[in-house]
Structure 1
């Protein structure tokens, strides 16, 4: 992690965009909390929902798609159904064809993140799967999330 959360648990104001994530009954595991793999689904939902709503990504038919080449997560406190979760989103780095998205998950109005993670997406041509420069609209949206 880079930025403020590298020194400890991040807070909501560390993130440029906040959005609700709905927990589901099936997210809980036998231990009574959201399974660790589900956090990555929340991260993916936060990133892609924002990009789609901003008109920067057309996942079904757009010429460019983002492929995850690296990801990680630090867990600080459990999340359980039916917690109300807010995902904080920011961008740590923008390259010519890649973006590092950083996500914090906050439960039930708490100010400190229960978990923080990242995805690095490399944007590629849908057909050739070769890296391409970020399209202008995508670059505009992700630069607006730079911390």
Structure 2
């Protein structure tokens, strides 16, 4: 049976969302593992369908909402194990914080069976005003979507 014929079962998570993403040959470095710089792109490929399905997308008319005008302020990642070979992996992502003008994602790259965490980290984005390039408030529409991604607060 080929990999494409295998059923993909998403790992069970208590918060956030899990998105399958494909790893292709051009994602690899000279050693045959996913190149470190590709993880930011792969995360983007996981987050985009989530927001697109909820009305926040780009098409030939431009952005569907002003919230899509944002920039990455911070991206940190810790690599635990290399991803070797093409195929699907899962990206578990969530929001740790949703501020007035920024949002902090947490994420993990997981094996198909969910037992291996390849890498984990955080990504902070800031919504910008297109005219001034200064931080501006998220819309209520973005806040409504963000609520579904918020990680519950840890109880001390």
**TM-score if structure 2 supplies the norm length?**
0.79
Aligned residues between the structures = 137
1:49 maps to what in 2?
Answer: 49
> What corresponds to 2:66 in structure 1?
63
Q: Which residue matches 2:118?
A: 114
CA distance in 1, matches of 2:84, 2:16: 25
Structure 1: runs of 5+ lacking an equivalent: 1-10
Q: Which deviates more, 100-109 or 70-79? A: 100-109
CA displacement 1:30-75 (0-9 Å, x = unmatched) = 1110000001111122223222221135483343312001110011
Partner of 1:141: 145
RMSD (CA atoms): 1.9
Q: Give the Cα separation in 1 of the matches to 2:104 and 2:58.
A: 19
- How far apart are 1:29 and its partner, in Å? 0.8
Q: What corresponds to 2:29 in structure 1? A: 29
1:53 and 1:96 mapped to 2: Cα distance? 23
Structure 1 segments, 4+ long, off by >4 Å, are none
Gapped regions of structure 2 (runs ≥ 5) = 1-10, 152-156
User: Aligned with 2:50: secondary structure?
Assistant: helix
Q: What is the distance in 2 between the residues matched to 1:19 and 1:82?
A: 16
TM-score (norm 1): 0.83
Residue 83 of structure 1 and its aligned partner are, at CA, apart by: 3.5
1:83 and 1:108 in contact (8 A); partners too: no
3-state SS of the aligned residue for 1:13? coil
Deviation at 1:19, TM superposition (A): 0.8
| TM-aligned CA deviation for residue 12 of structure 1 | 5.5
When Rg is computed on C-alpha atoms for both structures, the one with the higher figure is 2
- Report the 3-state secondary structure (helix = DSSP H, G, I; strand = E; otherwise coil) of the residue aligned with 2:77: strand
